[in-house]
Amino acid sequence: MRTVLVTGLGGAGRTTVAAATALAAAREGERVLLLSADPEPGESLSAARAAGVRAERIDSGAHFRTELLALQERGTTVLDLLGASRVEEEELTELPGAAQFALLHALRTADSAAWDLTVVDMPPVQEALAVLALPEQLRRYLRRLLPPERQAARALRPMLAQLAGVPMPAQWLYETTARWEAELAAVQARIEGPDTTVRLVAEPGPAATRALRTARTGIALHRRALDLVVANRVLPTGSADPWLAALAAEQQDHIKELSACFGDVDVQELPHLGRAPSTAGELAPLERPAAPRAEPPRWTVEDRLADDGVLVWRLPLPGAVKEELGLVRRGDELLLTAGPFRRTVPLPSALRRCTVEGAGLTDGVLGIRFAPDPRLWPQSR
């Protein structure tokens, strides 16, 4: 099953583009599921549904209540030991962050056998990238806070029991952690799979061009595959009205900038209707991208030991600005910052035995130089 994650700038018409993407596939005979994280998705979903697309809105409030009640049920023994009072469904109010977890749950549970394509109407791009990064980040936190090795839990259990005054449910805790790990791994596999791509939406303008250039850096940092950029609400050219003609010409200039900025990624236009589309006939279906199959950026290690005594880790970060880049080495991990985006990544095995010697940004590629650590690097005889 293919998955297209539609995001972009706030108010740019992401839901309309998601519906147009789903409609195009449905008209080619594909079985299409359209999911929207927008609490008020408007008429676009209804229009796509009328054309044979299965369109659903993600109910984050219902998901929050279901999950919390299920967690309470699984932890009944522990809660009873602590003297905790049970909460009822009517008491529960959705907490901040619940929408992100509901979206990830919808992605994980979409039946790959039932659909040829799942289109997801995502939040604005910075929030969307944060959501897509959650499974990797949470798995990392779980491994740090609750290691899978149970020997540590057994060793600490008597001490923790004395401190808490009640028997510590180490077994329950680790079983819960293992379940979370499995669910997070499943949704991460869906997000990072070869059949999942990101689609960006913007209304052409100077702010949009700058914002999408920054967004492209974040997409590359998180190694997501970008398949298409959609210029939405494009005005018709050739108008006799000087004011409208000037606006249309300005939009076309910005579309050219987008094409130059994204280079190897198609930029498609959707016309401005003067209002939001409300029927399937008003949804202009998107064409399939003409570019080759989208792939995540390749991070490679170049061996320059013979010439310069270093290994170079090359990370494509198109659109990155040198002054906004940051690198921090922490053990076997590297904390990367690119503008508003951050990611902690494990070092390739060979680089873990090296020290960071420096870095440089050339033509949108960050090159990080590593020198072998004599204490860890195998010595030639």
Please tell me what DSSP assigns to residue 238: S
State the pairing for strand pair 117-121/54-57: unpaired
Banded pLDDT at 151 (limits 50, 70, 90): very low
- Return d(Cα 120, Cα 132) in angstroms, integer: 12
pLDDT in tens, 56-69: 888 877 777 777 77
Identify the three-state secondary structure at position 241: coil
pLDDT in tens, 84-107: 667 777 667 777 778 888 888 888
More confident: 380 or 216: 216
Q: In the prediction, which pLDDT does 210 show?
A: 87
More confident: 26 or 177: 26
Q: In the prediction, which pLDDT does 182 show?
A: 87
- Return d(Cα 209, Cα 201) in angstroms, integer: 11
* Strands ordered across the beta sheet of 2-8: 54-57, 32-36, 117-121, 2-8, 196-202, 226-234, 267-271
Mention every residue, 6+ apart, whose C-beta is less than 8 A from residue 282. Answer: 47, 273
CB neighbourhood size of 173 (10 A)? 15
pLDDT in tens, 105-115: 888 888 888 89
Give the DSSP H or E segment for 336.
Answer: strand 333-338
Q: For residue 355, list its beta bridge partners.
A: 371
CB neighbourhood size of 265 (10 A)? 19
- Percent of the chain whose pLDDT exceeds 90: 36
CB 201 within 8 A of CB 14: yes
Provide the H-helix boundaries in the chain.
14-27, 44-50, 60-74, 76-82, 98-109, 125-145, 150-164, 170-192, 206-221, 242-262, 305-308
Give the lowest-confidence range in 105-109, 280-284, 361-365.
280-284
Six-digit token pair at 233? 């609400």
Q: What is the DSSP string of 201-214?
A: EE-SSHHHHHHHHH
pLDDT in tens, 205-237: 888 888 998 999 999 999 999 999 999 999 988
Please tell me what DSSP assigns to residue 291: S
- Return d(Cα 367, Cα 362) in angstroms, integer: 8
Please tell me what DSSP assigns to residue 224: P
Mention every residue, 6+ apart, whose C-beta is less than 8 A from residue 287. Answer: 24, 268
| Look-up of token digits 């130089």 | 369
Domains in the chain (CATH in brackets) are: 2-282 (3.40.50.300), 300-372 (2.60.40.790)
Give the lowest-confidence range in 186-190, 274-278, 308-312.
274-278
CB 64 within 8 A of CB 94: yes
| Sign, CA torsion 144/146/151/153 | positive
- Return d(Cα 160, Cα 157) in angstroms, integer: 5
- Return d(Cα 171, Cα 36) in angstroms, integer: 38
Does residue 39 have a pLDDT over 80? no
Residue length of the chain: 381
CB neighbourhood size of 289 (10 A)? 18
